[in-house]
Amino acid sequence: MDSIKSFKGYGKVDELEQEAYQKKTRKRLIILIVSSVILLAVIVAAVTGTVIHKRNTSSSSSSNSVPQTELAPAASLKAVCDVTQYPNSCFAAISSLPNSNTTDPKLLFKLSLRVAIDELSKLSSFTPKLRDNAKSDQRLQKAIDVCGTVFEDALNQLNDSISSIGDSGAGKVLPSSEISDVETWLSAVMTNQETCIDAVRELNSTAARGVLQELETITRNSTEFVSNSLAIVTRILGLLSKFNAPIHHRKLLGFGGSDSEYPAWVGGTERRLLQANVTAPDAVVAKDGSGQFRTIGEALKLVKKKSLTRFVLYVKEGTYIENIDLDKNTWNVMITGDGKDKTIVSGSRNFKDGTPTFETATFAATYLGRPWKDFSTTIIMQTDIGSFLKPVGWISWVPNVDPVSTIFYAEYQNSGPGAGVSERIAWAGYKPSLTDAEAGKFTVPTFIQGPEWLPNTAVEFDSTL
């Protein structure tokens, strides 16, 4: 299905497709540049016209004043929708809304989000019906449950997107940090919808194929609408932001530090809790019965949803065969143990036993990673890798079958006994080393815009390679 296949990756930017796109003919590149200039002129005119119009209406008018020319709303909407992969559905859906009579690209973008939210809301009510029709097939029911979960997540991410731009007024350009957040949320929405499709498709049964056909039909509109929103925020609002965004120079917090016994991602607050041995845990788990609970899962039931108070769970020495599910509403949980060789968590869920791939993750992992999707991307960089790692480093999703060449898996400047790459796998999409320029795309400032928000947290980070 075109609407599903149109989104092939998990990140905000697909580097492989971008490079391929840049290698196209010089003639097409010139056409693209000219089109972009024209489009920018149209959008800037729309924003400028909106601002001028509002300024004029807020001031006293003169009988001799000359009327200002403003881009027509329909023309503005068409210009915005023309940057999307589905311009017809974009224009038809947004123009049908009562508030679409505007020339402000940001307001039109918010309307595109509203269209996507309305469509995704229909999906949330549809999954219970699918589940009722699959009562005799437990594996199919579990796959449909995955759909229900990811559809709910997708709705939350769309609402996060619309809330993040709700405070800025009409005609104002969004800052680049907010643009990046919205791109991330919309990309996640696309991924969530595709995850639902994958959960059903991998069953490959007659009943599953029937449900798959229904899902592909009912998700077509929502996939197109979210794709449209992502294109608008990236190609229009993002472009306007670059012309308006100031350059920030900020002194970063914490470079390295002396707490070498803790990983770099452990923040200052957590380090102080770990260093202060007198900190009393909120709950204790012990297999021998000396704690309040015998399993981690039972103890985590004490955690209140969206709690702003930290919950410290101490897990005593032992091997715990269980899968730990901390959903998006489980906040501020800190789990400590007696050491990596003493407190061990090992799960056993897998697809062959009837668990959807989406739910097979365990609390811990044995390899650096497994590529699942066509454009999956994983980089292990500047990490101390212990001797526990098998020399091949990575494992394919399907045993003895190399992943597609479109993946991007790489390592960069790692250290430790497990960092050697001489015996690593030989996949077409794997790079045992990266150049500084390639690795620079995955640094804190470039990849997650860390300097915009990390200084307000207790997390120490390095902004350079």
Residues 307-318: pLDDT tens digits?
888 888 899 988
Q: Find the mean pLDDT for residues 445-459.
A: 77
User: What local confidence, expressed as pLDDT, does residue 422 receive?
Assistant: 92
The answer to whether the beta carbons of residues 201 and 351 sit under 8 Å apart is no
pTM of the model: 0.53
Distance between alpha carbon 99 and the CA centroid of its chain, in Å? Answer: 29
- What residues contact residue 164 under an 8 Å CB cut-off, 6+ apart? 178, 181, 182, 185
User: What local confidence, expressed as pLDDT, does residue 159 receive?
Assistant: 84
Residue 105 lies in a domain: yes
Distance between alpha carbon 338 and the CA centroid of its chain, in Å? Answer: 33
Distance between alpha carbon 416 and the CA centroid of its chain, in Å? Answer: 30
Tell me whether strands 377-381 and 408-412 are parallel, antiparallel or unpaired: parallel
Is pLDDT of 12 > 50?
A: no
Distance between alpha carbon 316 and the CA centroid of its chain, in Å? Answer: 34
Residue 377 lies in a domain: no
User: What local confidence, expressed as pLDDT, does residue 259 receive?
Assistant: 43
Give the mean pLDDT of the chain. Answer: 74
**Residue 461 burial (C-beta neighbours within 10 Å; 0-12, 13-18, 19+):** buried
**Cα–Cα distance measured from residue 88 to residue 78, given in angstroms and rounded to the nearest whole number:** 9
Domain with 104 in it: what CATH number?
A: 1.20.140.40
Is pLDDT of 6 > 50?
A: no
Structure tokens, 49: 């016209």
| Residues 124, 127, 128, 131, Cα dihedral to 10° | -160
pLDDT band at 293 (very low <50, low <70, confident <90, very high): very high
CA distances (Å), origin 338, targets 85, 255, 298, 302, 350: 53, 28, 19, 21, 28
User: What local confidence, expressed as pLDDT, does residue 335 receive?
Assistant: 83
Residue 290 lies in a domain: no
The answer to whether the beta carbons of residues 427 and 237 sit under 8 Å apart is no
Q: Select from 244, 237, 187, 242 the least CA-distant residue to 80.
A: 237
Is pLDDT of 120 > 60?
A: yes
| Residues 22, 23, 29, 32, Cα dihedral to 10° | -40
Q: Select from 81, 324, 95, 121 the least CA-distant residue to 221.
A: 121
Q: Edge-to-edge strands of the sheet including 408-412?
A: 377-381, 408-412, 430-431
Range with lowest mean pLDDT among 103-117, 309-323, 336-350: 336-350
Residue 318 lies in a domain: no
The range of the structural domain enclosing residue 196 comes to: 2-244
Q: Find the mean pLDDT for residues 140-151.
A: 87
Residue 213 lies in a domain: yes
HSE-CB at 259 with a 13 A cutoff on CA atoms is: 19
Q: Find the mean pLDDT for residues 312-330.
A: 82
Range with lowest mean pLDDT among 134-148, 252-266, 418-432: 252-266
User: What local confidence, expressed as pLDDT, does residue 171 receive?
Assistant: 53
User: What local confidence, expressed as pLDDT, does residue 73 receive?
Assistant: 81
More confident residue, 355 or 218: 218
Helix intervals (H) in 323-410: none
Residue 45 lies in a domain: yes
- Percentage of residues of the chain with pLDDT beyond 70: 68
> What's the total number of domains in the chain?
1
Residue 52 lies in a domain: yes
Q: Between the ranges 45-59, 163-177, 243-257, 396-410, where is the mean pLDDT highest?
A: 396-410
Residue 71 lies in a domain: yes
Structure tokens, 388: 């526990």
